[in-house]
Amino acid sequence: MFIDSHCHLAFPELSGDIDGVLARMRDAQVIGALSVCVTLEDFQTVVRLAERHTNIWASVGVHPDYREGREPDIATLVGLARHGRVIAIGETGLDYYRLKEPLDWQRQRFRVHIRAAREAGLPLIIHTRAAAADTLRIMREEKAGEVGGVMHCFTETLEVAQAALDLGFHISFSGIVTFKSAQSLRSVAAVVPLDRLLIETDAPYLAPVPHRGKTNEPGWVPLVARTIGALRGLDATEVGSLTTSVFSRLFNVLGEEGEVISEL
């Protein structure tokens, strides 16, 4: 069994065929997915999907790439996070790749999300691109380690991974790890502790090999597990079981008796 720890099911590429997406998940033994929010305007769409499907969970947050739209504050994020289907704050973080300085607004937004996560008692979903040093600095300054979370779609160095692990965070790998050009990333995936490892699609983006260039979907997350398993001497199902357990513990979606979810 597998869980997609990060996807965007409310995006139009997937929402228009949600029944098909969910059916293909079942066929691939993907038992659940975390559908991640990127704007406050989209939150209701994200959470309604989670309300309708017991194996879909939601987050609340505003992606660092989105300059327009409603700016989040701590009270708003904490209030929305009280919804029973919300299990994380984010996606949040820093992205210096697409946007250029001055980016004080982006750094302040990141701080707001961390403070909201600490108040709500929920883990963080962190995006960082071309901004690792500032991302880690703000995580330390704002005591993000008090709630922990995940460095999603990880593409940084082993040193950055270790710094995040030292803060109590998890590392999640997407379809990028299956690309031929991702040898350095595979070297990180080979050594991240198994009890801190997650897998994701980031669908509808970053489809894994052999589907690269196509619209990605949660049913393809076993392909990420297969690549990581080859690096670790495990088969894909073992990686799936391990990462499902990690997801369940991190996001507090264990069963009533404390067991790892096995079917939904």
Condensed to tens digits (0 to 9), the pLDDT of residues 2-49 reads: 999 999 999 999 999 999 999 999 999 999 999 999 999 999 999 999
> pTM for this structure?
0.96
Provide the residue ranges of all domains of the chain, joining segments of one domain with +.
Answer: 2-250
For the chain, give the number of residues: 264
pLDDT digits (tens, 9 = 90+) for 175-225: 999 999 999 999 999 999 999 999 999 999 999 999 999 999 999 999 999
| 42 Cβ contact partners less than 8 Å away, ≥ 6 residues apart | 10
pLDDT digits (tens, 9 = 90+) for 104-154: 999 999 999 999 999 999 999 999 999 999 999 999 999 999 999 999 999
* pLDDT the model gives residue 264: 42
| CA neighbor of 151 nearest in space, from 203, 96, 86, 200 | 200
Domain 2-250 is of which CATH architecture? Alpha-Beta Barrel (3.20)
